[in-house]
Amino acid sequence: MKNVAIIGSGSWGAALGIYLANHGHSVKMWSFDEDEKNLINNKRKCVFLPNAKVPDGVICSSNFEEVLEDAEIILHVTPSKFVRSTIKQYKSFVKPNQMVIMCSKGFESETGYTLDQIMEEELLGIKTGILSGPSHAEEVSLNVPTLMVVASKDSEVREVISEEFKSNSMRIYTSEDVKGVELGGALKNIIAFCAGIAVGLGLGDNTFAALATRGLVEIDRLGTAMGGETKTFYGLSGLGDLIVTCGSVHSRNRKAGELIGKGYSIEETRKQVGMTIESVDNIDVAYKLCKKYNVEMPIVEKVYEVLYNGLSPKEAVDILMTREQKSE
């Protein structure tokens, strides 16, 4: 059993803490929010996971040094826009014998970096990895059988995470394709947002399936252009995560798209969802990347225009449907 530090007390950080503590690991969790910290420590609850109980093995603190001191594994679980700033706050406490695993999904908007690139810059000499896959926090916290993938260039990281995190409700596959796993997790949120728009417009299963399928093609195009492997995008962190994020009632990205499809503004949508919406935060990055790498991504281009250029969701669908005929 391991001492695990979790940086972030939102739904996914809390779910990982609950799962790991229930399977014998010692968990210390960092939170910037005093109310969240007190709720976890005193009430054994997480506001984002009302059906789950936080076990006594989870201790929450707002002190980075206290959380990281004895950790063998560090899980970073903050919104993508706060990844670099948060790492800067705790990296002086990270020791060479610890490993840092990125569990967040997204991009850094200012640079267009994937989150593994941020770790490479900020955590010199530290072993790192990416944990991704179809894994809604609500279900992981309740021990629903879940499959994930850990990606790292370091074989020890892959072996430790896959072995220590496994159980009869969690199976961890391994991959060396860090870039592919990273991009699959980041880009699928955008396609799920688009699928939500289709639901909000009242369109049918045919449209939903078409969006998911052609969206996967776009993920593969940009992902391979940026160094990922096609097989990764048809695995757990690509197709698997796309299925669960497009189709689940738990998906905040799908819910956000559905609200946009119904005519809500971005501001109204953020208030309704009440949590970070990675797709909204990263659509402009994906748009810029597809232009940078000269990759055709019509779905991403149109949803960018919906959010930033005033195109209506219905007009976006009409434009996509009347594009020039092509071979699949």
Active site residues: 188
Cross-strand pairs, 37: none
| Closest of 7, 6, 16, 11 to residue 170, by C-alpha | 16
Read off the tokens for 326: 């092509």
Distances (CA, A) of 157 to 1, 9, 25, 94, 132: 15, 23, 17, 16, 14
Asked if 180 contacts 149 with a C-beta cutoff of 8 angstroms, the reply is: no
Distances (CA, A) of 262 to 203, 206, 265: 11, 19, 9
CA dist 298 and 304 (Å) reads 10
CA dist 154 and 226 (Å) reads 20
Cross-strand pairs, 130: 102, 151
Element (H, E) at 14: helix 11-22
| Closest of 248, 145, 130 to residue 185, by C-alpha | 130
Query: What phi-psi label fits residue 233: left (phi over 0), alpha (psi between -120 and 50 degrees) or beta?
Result: alpha
The DSSP-derived string for 184-211 is: HHHHHHHHHHHHHHHHHTT--HHHHHHH
How far from each other are the two terminal CA atoms of the chain, in whole angstroms? 49
